[in-house]
Amino acid sequence: MADDSIAVVDLERCQPDRCNYECKNFCPPNRTGKECITVRGEDTMEGKPDQVRISEEICLGETCGICVEKCPFDAIEIINLPQELDDEPAHRYGENAFSLYGLPAPDEGRVTGILGPNGIGKTTAVRILAGELTPNLGNYGTEPEWSDVLDRYRGTELQAFLRELRDGDVSVARKPQYVDQIPNQFDGTTRELLDSTDERGDLDAIVDRLSIRPVMDQHIGDLSGGELQRVALAATLARDADFYFLDEITPYLDIGQRVTAARLIRDLAADGDRSMLVVEHDLAILDLLADNLHVAYGEPGAYGVVTDPKSVRNGINEYLKGYLDNENMRIRPNAIEFEEHAPRTVAKGDVLVEYPDLEMSYGEGEFSLSVDGGTVHENEVLGIVGPNGIGKSTFAKLLNGALEPDEGELDFQLDISYKPQYIEIDKPMRVDVFLQSITDQFGSSYWNTEIAQPLQLERIMEQNLEDLSGGERQRVAIAACLSEEADLYLLDEPSAHLDVEQRVQATSAIRRYAESQDATVMVIDHDIYMIDLLADRLMVFDGEPAEHGHAGRPQAMRSGMNEFLANLDVTFRRDERTKRPRVNKPGSQLDKQQKNDGEYYYSA
């Protein structure tokens, strides 16, 4: 194989007991007597006996690709690496396994961002910088030596950090990506968890800024996703560390909480010589948060590349454009485009649901919700926005019949297909079997083109549900919701754990489904741009989180977005080059002007 090519075998997908070794039998070098594709034996270090291995020295490379085509489980990739890459990776997990090229460089007193797709090696890079994994420089067959690592990075920005890491002089605090797993790892109250992390004496101030004092004495298992996210962030930032790694700070947080979290992280970075490394998919928050940015690209599950640091604006814009200027590298065939459009003119269809004023209370002194009566029309997408803990999910349960209002009567019955905010896997089956049981209403051609392909389901169809990552579970859950026959499709935070490209594709899939199937869709989400692209009208919730909420009538997008952002005291502008939304700095001239004009998001 050419020096710039690698062979990757996905050992989770390679199933020799269900195939006839088509890859091995049709391989041209094998058919001439060479041992290019062979079967692993009992003494293999990676994988299981009977799975295949590919000799990268003998393989003909991507120009052949016969084994890729013949494998019935899509377990093989032959990839030509970009010529601009260094010869050796920073780390490779094993023979025919994932390779990572390049590492991000922590910067004292600053926030460094990483932007890239899921499955591209960001977590591997962080494990290396956290001292959990010694980089093997591609020599996966031998124990890595720190002396080789330091020689490799001599003269770079990483040299001093890696030397301190080797000597044990770097302390690390990490916020996990999937905060909904915290109750499985800690049994106690919020206060007990946070008190154990208060190493700098600043916990009280952090608790107040993140507004989590009301849940301090609640059991961790009783917290919502947004509360868990803020508790996890507080637990991380309360530690006294040299290097903080924060993996996705925005899932389950509303836009106000996202902005607050971003400002808290920036303040802590500026207060001393601490290094912050943040992986984030919300571009507006990453823009507000980071001082510099590494772009990560490659083939998910096969190889990843981390670029040298860039300015935040240029890094985000180059990533969206799909072309990295300094690296002279095209990382995506097409640009991710953000539309600058006036809110849609809504052609009102027949009324699907007309509901009266509603009142709902969970008990004396507990949360209460009041809903102004309104209508939901057939064939519309209704966006639902508001802070966490304000009653959006309660309203959905009222519509669904899961809750009864204290005042007002709902005398209709709807078949609702519901994607919950928190996705729990309770079915031990493969993805394709699970989805097949609910997709009979569609022809396979439509389903593959309009749902499976945009949601990137092809490569996970034969995986078990319980083995999926958070982003993979999200995409399967969206597909399952859209595949049901229903009067109303209700999706609660479909953007959570999706990377930038996946969010754009999921948004497009949901919108196209609504239009092609004449479906009525309600979407609850905190990603402002996703809501803007999806929704015909907007329903705004306000009030006091965890105490009382108020739901206004559905209204036009422009007035609804302005009302929502005015409640949060946040304004957005659009980037001149890409038209992507960007958060204005509080008190800036543009922030003041937009507030004076009453235009918090749309151009006048």
pLDDT-wise least confident of 45-59, 100-114, 188-202, 315-329: 45-59
DSSP string, 539-572: EEEEEETTTEEEEPPPEEHHHHHHHHHHHHT--E
pLDDT recorded at residue 447? 80
CB 601 within 8 A of CB 540: no
Tell me the pLDDT band of 439, cut-offs 50, 70 and 90: low
Model pLDDT, residue 195: 95
Q: Rounded to 5 degrees, what angle do the CA atoms 542, 543, 547 make?
A: 135
Question: pLDDT tens digits, residue range 225-242?
Answer: 889 999 999 999 999 999
What is d(CA 211, CA 413) in angstroms, rounded to the nearest whole number? 38
CA angle 152, 328, 320 (to 5 degrees): 105
| H or E element, residue 574 | strand 572-574
Give just the sign of the alpha carbon dihedral 222, 223, 228, 230.
negative
* CA 597 to the chain's CA centroid: 34
pLDDT for position 3? 52
HSE-CB for 305 with a 13 A CA cutoff? 19
- Kindly report which listed range (67-71, 250-254, 270-274, 386-390) carries the lowest average pLDDT score: 270-274
The predicted pLDDT at position 90 comes to 94
Range from 3-12, 166-175, 483-492 carrying the lowest mean pLDDT: 3-12
Q: Which pLDDT does position 346 carry in this prediction?
A: 57
- Give the pLDDT of residue 344: 59
Structure token pair of residue 554: 């559905």
**374-396 pLDDT, tens digit each:** 999 999 999 999 988 889 988 98
Report the DSSP beta bridge partners of residue 175. 246
pLDDT at 604: 47
Residue 133 reports pLDDT greater than 70: yes
Note the helical H segments in 119-202. Answer: 122-129, 146-152, 159-166, 182-185, 190-195
DSSP 405-437: -SBS-------EEEE-SS------SBHHHHHHT
Give dist(CA 343, CA 67) in Å, integer: 49
What pLDDT is recorded for position 340? Answer: 66
- Check residues 182 and 546 and name the one with the higher pLDDT: 182
Higher pLDDT, 43 or 208: 208
Average pLDDT, rounded, for the chain:
88
Q: Which pLDDT tens digit goes with each residue over 442-494?
A: 556 778 888 888 898 888 888 888 888 888 999 999 999 998 889 999 998 89
| Eight-state DSSP code of residue 344 | P
Tokens found for residue 25: 């039998």
Can you list the domains of the chain with their CATH numbers?
5-80 (3.30.70.20), 179-240 (no CATH), 358-376+388-531+540-555 (3.40.50.300)
- Residue 119 CA: distances (Å) to CA of 47, 116, 297, 438, 453: 19, 9, 10, 28, 18
Instruction: State what percent of residues in the chain have pLDDT above 90.
Output: 48
- SS3 category, 523: strand
Q: How far is CA 156 from the centre of its chain?
A: 31
pLDDT > 50? residue 280: yes
Nearest to 472 by CA among 154, 14, 35, 117: 117
pLDDT at 539: 96
Across the range 498-525, mean pLDDT stands at 90
Detail the DSSP E strand segments found in 136-256: 172-175, 243-247
Question: For the segment 135-150, what is each residue's pLDDT rounded down to a tens digit?
Answer: 999 998 888 889 999 9
Q: How many helical (H) and strand (E) elements, i.e. helices and strands, does the chain have?
A: 21, 27
How many C-beta atoms lie closer than 10 Å to residue 518's C-beta? Answer: 9
> What is the average per-residue pLDDT within 101-127?
90
**C-alpha–C-alpha distance, residues 535 and 383, integer Å:** 5
Inter-CA distances, 549 with 53, 166, 301, 546, 552, Å: 58, 52, 43, 8, 10
More confident residue, 478 or 349: 478
Contact partners, residue 432, CB within 8 Å, separation at least 6: 461, 462
pLDDT of 517 reads 87
Distance in angstroms (rounded) separating the CA atoms of residues 538 and 128: 44
User: Which sign, positive or negative, has the C-alpha torsion 54, 56, 62, 66?
Assistant: negative
pLDDT higher than threshold 70 for residue 343: no
Residue that the structure tokens 């919502």 belong to: 224
User: Does residue 348 have a pLDDT over 70?
Assistant: no
Nearest to 557 by CA among 343, 339, 338: 343
Distance in angstroms (rounded) separating the CA atoms of residues 158 and 496: 32
Cβ atoms 312, 113 nearer than 8 A: yes
Give pairs for 84-89: CB < 8 Å, separation 24+.
84/327, 84/328, 84/329, 85/4, 85/305, 87/3, 88/137, 88/138, 88/152, 89/137, 89/138, 89/303
In this prediction the pTM is: 0.82
Strand, helix or coil for residue 238 = coil
CA distances from 561 to 395, 554, 569 (A): 20, 11, 12
Q: 433 pLDDT band (50/70/90 cuts)? A: confident
Residue 577 burial by CB count (10 A; 0-12/13-18/19+): exposed, middle or buried? exposed
The span from the CA of 466 to the CA of 5, in Å, is: 33
The one-letter amino acid at 69 = E
Span 191-213, mean pLDDT?
Answer: 95
| Strand intervals (E) in 265-311 | 275-279, 292-299, 303-306
Q: Give the separation between CA 534 and CA 508, rounded to whole angstroms.
A: 8
Long-range CB contacts for residues 436-443, cutoff 8 Å, separation at least 24: 438/480, 438/483, 438/484, 439/483, 441/483, 441/485, 442/483
Distance CA 545, CA 549 (A): 7
pLDDT greater than 60 at residue 603: no
How far is Cα 117 from Cα 120, in angstroms, rounded to an integer? 6
| Percent of residues, the chain, with pLDDT higher than 70 | 95
pLDDT given at position 375: 92
